A and B are shown apart, each in its own frame.
Chain A
Amino acid sequence: MNNEPTVKVILATDCGSTTTKAILIEKVGQEYRQTYRGEAPTTVEAPFEDVTMGVLNAVQEVAEISGRRLVGDDGRIMTPARGKEGCDLYISTSSAGGGLQMMVAGVVRSMTAESAERAALGAGSIVMDVIACNDKRLPHEQIERIRQLRPDMILVSGGVDGGTTKHVVELAELIAAASPKPRLGSGFHLPVIYAGNAQAADEVATVLADKTDLNVVPNLRPVLERENLGPAREKIHDMFLEHVMQQAPGYKKLMSWVNADIMPTPEAVGRILRTIAEKEGINAVCVDIGGATTDIFSVFGGEFNRTVSANLGMSYSISNVFTEAGLPNVLRWVPFPMDERDLRNRVKNKMIRPTTIPSSLEELVFEQAIAREALRLAFEQHKAFASRLKGVQQQRTIGDTFDQGAGGESLVNLMDLDLLVASGGVLSHAPRMAQTALLLIDSFLPEGVTALAKDSIFMMPHLGVLSQVHPAAATEVFEKDCLIYLGTCVAPVGKAKEGSRLLHWRFETETGRVEEGELHQGELARVPLALQERAHFSGHPEKGIDLGRGKGTKVETVLKGGEVGLVLDGRGRPLVLPADQGRRVECLHRWLKAMDAYDARLYTL
């Protein structure tokens, strides 16, 4: 943006399914800082059916707290800023009304259909279903499914450029036969984006042009060895603005207020994560666990991936987590006895009354046990999806193409992970930071040296849009206000006997404080290292034990401090809890005490 330096006040909103959040970013001295925030219920649904009401309520709360007038007499957000009034930039993201809901189609499920799915997810969409010629459903079942789902748009891919046209035209014929209607605005044609074999574009147009709002973009899989997801993603974004947003209640008005295009919330999160990973040269994972879904974003080696685990969440979907994970997996994290029948009733009661919160320690521990399993399952899905041979813009040799048949190696290598960011109620609102840290460690099982942080007020969506119009302000606020560092997890990997030495460690802070010790198999330890502290760390693993540089090789690095500090995790990877009930409870007690994760009353339950 040309007038970047003149921007002093930035207002950003994120319209979520239930809550609209507003933040104010101001230039304080020479730096941009997030200063005030407010929130209000989202007003997309009846009886309000106008998203701007919730936006204005949230903004008004910011105005009241900050003393800055932000809403004018005409009921609009005041721009530009003049003295104690208005803002220079107003931006917004949105996932209200269920966000962007898409259906994708491709010829082969594990190839073009998966590439299409990746493009849709990367553009911030929820993928309702993936139709592929080999998805084991009969054609009439596929047609029924397309007709029932009523997505916001469909992305069709299939075939490499110059390859066979038959299968992809067949897909188009299935869609034409279903004659799908869009979810919003029943009088309109459904937007369909064609990003398949360029040679089939005319034939696809013959089949679909009259029945849908067809848009043709370059093939997202022009050759087997390379994906080209950019054009499809951009078209999804355009169609989202042109169609979906135009039909959603109040969005036309909101679109006329903003200084940058409204972005689907997950797309915005992806953008800021990519920006930061690129700037710092790191690999990062961010998780956002909500009531209904869990989103995971990762950047490994510059490649971005996002997955949405549609039915893994802490309220609406809690019962599904319980079903998918299974009772024993949830209960392994609970260090006291629970009656199965009662416990199942509790889970279902949370599902039907999703806004309730745990008030007793026992309830909190149980809810966090379910959260560990939701996160674990969501991350497993993410690891399977973020595969090396199918990544964005990845060049591959023809030899790699054959490897792909075997399923593709995951891009997610936990030993290479530098930063793990948590957000979403159960993680952000955990009463103790040590609980958040332990939830992350237990479910993601980071290896080697990994910094842990949380985005306590989920500011990443706002910063993602801001990074498009004012990257300097976005990165500055991200570093200074967005993340709250919990500390660093050091987890050696390798086979060892219980109690045997895994490594000798030592750190020295900038102020000269020295701490050192040994970590043994089965041990979990916490060493304070305050938020503002940085320390030079060295770890000497035993022979056969890896801390990131290879077995037995010393690792030196700079540690970031945080509310929790340094967590030394010698419990092994994968983390296996003792099968014996007594031993399991004894282990949990020992670990939770070492982390100072809960009040001492827990150990008497």
Chain B
Amino acid sequence: MGSSFVPGLKVSRHTVLRKRRILPLKGEVKKNLGDEVAASEVVAETYLPGKVHPMNVANLLGVVPADLPRCMVRKEGEAVQRNEVLARSTSFFGLFKNEVTAKVEGTLENVSTITGQVMVREKPTPVQVRAFVDGTVVEIIPQEGVVLETTATYIQGIFGIGGETQGRITVLVEAPGEELTAESIRSEHAGQVLVGGAFASLAALRKAVEVGAAGVVVGGIDALDLVEFMGYDLGVAITGSERLGLTLIVTEGFGHVAMAERTFSLLTELSGSEASINGSTQIRAGVIRPEIIVTRAREQREAPPGDELKGLEVGDLVRIIRQPHFGELGTVTSLPHELSTLESESRARVLEVTLATGQILRLPRANTEVIAG
């Protein structure tokens, strides 16, 4: 109700994180309450029903569907091998035989006397859910999975591609405004999470794939480079299932945008630590942002620094997230209550921001985002 709540992305040095690790369908939970698990351990497992292959056996045999059951060599529920005879019809006192063989190995699931269709289901495929982060099992969701708790550094990106992976953090730039170049990426970076500054070019991304890096974390990328890198243009921001050879996390946005100082200094501090990263992004109701998680030893845990999301206040550091001045940082100096007329003549709630240069801007509140810390 008219709140001036402007959430930013979460960037926490120390936080107690709970992760739900759930199967896509019911199965078996492999861990117990209180178990300490490592990121790579399997916490729950199930079998996805195999693919179903229908074929119209009645048509193939040249019989009416109602006659199909007596032609079936294999019955419903039986296992069948590839190329094994499934059904056979004979005519002319057994002189002519007509046979239909299975195209896949699996189980004969259904024989329809109405349509003449026979369904063979392939073997189930195992699906495993791993812990993804080191932590303790604090809740068991029967037949579905677990909730893990861990103390960690937690950094959200704005956009990413590629799914869950792990690797050691290596910072390849000196400053958050610096560009991650292809030349700086070398073969020893295989399996690592490479941190750049303001920008990673297409050449840098390709080099990272070439050396086998696990991931790249960078302030900005170019939209056209992304099209080239993915091989298609992204219509809506629903990602995570891409198989491009690495997981990419963009922390600020499209274009050359310096990585937020706090994010960069945290990642620099964590250089050499093992990180769990996930590029999955869903910008819809129930938004999902990409994340970087570095588990911290429990004893390192400090009192939370109060980085919970809060309402916007004078003195807050904000980033401008729309042109003009996209990517610039400033301090909120005023939060006028009444609606103001913008240059576009739209009316909106605004705030006044003072940039580092001393320039004062009046901007729609919706076009800024709080930078924690």
Contacts and interface: CB of A to CB of B under 8 A. Distances in A.
A319 B236 contact: yes
Contacts of A253: none
Given A140-B54, A203-B114, A599-B345, A18 B255 contact: no
A179 B50 CA distance: 12
B119 interface: yes
Nearest to A143: B52
A173 interface: yes
B344 A345 contact: no
B64 to A, nearest CB: 11
Interface stretch (B131-139, B170-178, B361-369): B361-369
Given A45-B285, A344-B224, A345-B255, A360 B110 contact: no
Contacts of B347: 431
Interface of A: 17-18, 38-40, 44-46, 57-58, 60-61, 97-98, 139-140, 143-144, 165-167, 169-170, 173-174, 176-179, 181, 203, 206-207, 292, 311, 316-317, 319-320, 323-324, 340-342, 344-361, 363-364, 429, 431-432, 599
Interface in B336-373: 342-348, 363-364, 366-367, 369
B112 interface: yes
A326 to B, nearest CB: 11
B114 A166 contact: yes
A515 B79 CA distance: 85
A177 B283 contact: no
Interface of B: 1, 25, 49, 51-54, 65, 109-110, 112, 114-117, 119, 121, 158-159, 222-224, 226, 233-237, 253-255, 281, 283-286, 321-324, 326, 342-348, 363-364, 366-367, 369
Contact of A61 (B1, B25, B345): B1
B115 A359 contact: no
Given A311-B236, A353-B321, 8 more contacts: A18-B285, A143-B54, A316-B283, A317-B235, A320-B236, A341-B222, A352-B253, A352-B254
A359 B344 contact: yes
A173 B117 CA distance: 9
Given A174-B54, A316-B236, A356-B322, A431 B344 contact: yes
Contact of A357 (B115, B224, B366): B366
A598 to B, nearest CB: 8
A206 B364 CA distance: 60
Contacts of B342: 359-360
B322 A359 contact: yes
Given A166-B114, A292-B284, A317-B236, A353 B322 contact: yes
Contact of A177 (B109, B116, B348): B109
A139 B323 CA distance: 49
Nearest to A64: B1
Contacts of B52: 139-140, 143, 177-178
A363 B223 contact: no
Given A170-B115, A351-B236, A17 B322 contact: no
B345 A432 contact: yes
15 contacts: A17-B285, A39-B1, A98-B285, A140-B51, A140-B53, A143-B52, A165-B114, A179-B49, A323-B233, A346-B323, A353-B253, A356-B322, A358-B344, A363-B322, A429-B346
**Most chain-A CB neighbours within 10 Å: which of B53, B54, B322, B344?**
B344
A360 B343 contact: yes
A354 B282 CA distance: 12
B283 A351 contact: yes
A425 B52 CA distance: 45
A71 to B, nearest CB: 14
A176 B121 CA distance: 13
A36 to B, nearest CB: 14
B344 A364 contact: yes
A311 B284 CA distance: 12
The 5 closest A-B pairs by CB, nearest first: A320-B235, A431-B345, A364-B344, A345-B254, A344-B223
B283 A352 contact: yes
B43 to A, nearest CB: 19
B220 to A, nearest CB: 8
B283 A169 contact: no
B77 to A, nearest CB: 14
A351 B287 CA distance: 12
A97 B236 CA distance: 18
Nearest to A165: B114
B90 to A, nearest CB: 24
Given A40-B1, A177-B119, A360 B323 contact: yes
A345 B51 CA distance: 41
A207 to B, nearest CB: 8
Contact of A173 (B51, B110, B236): B110
Given A317-B235, A347-B223, A357 B364 contact: yes
Contacts of A353: 158, 253, 321-322, 369
A321 to B, nearest CB: 8
B169 to A, nearest CB: 23
Contacts of B65: 166
A599 B344 CA distance: 8
Contact of A316 (B51, B119, B237, B255): B237
A45 B54 contact: no
A56 to B, nearest CB: 11
Nearest to B50: A140
Given A316-B237, A351-B236, A431-B344, A45 B286 contact: yes
Contacts of A139: 52-54
Given A169-B112, A319-B236, A352 B343 contact: no
A357 B223 contact: no
A203 B116 CA distance: 13
B321 A170 contact: no
A292 B222 CA distance: 23
A364 B324 CA distance: 12
A357 B348 contact: yes
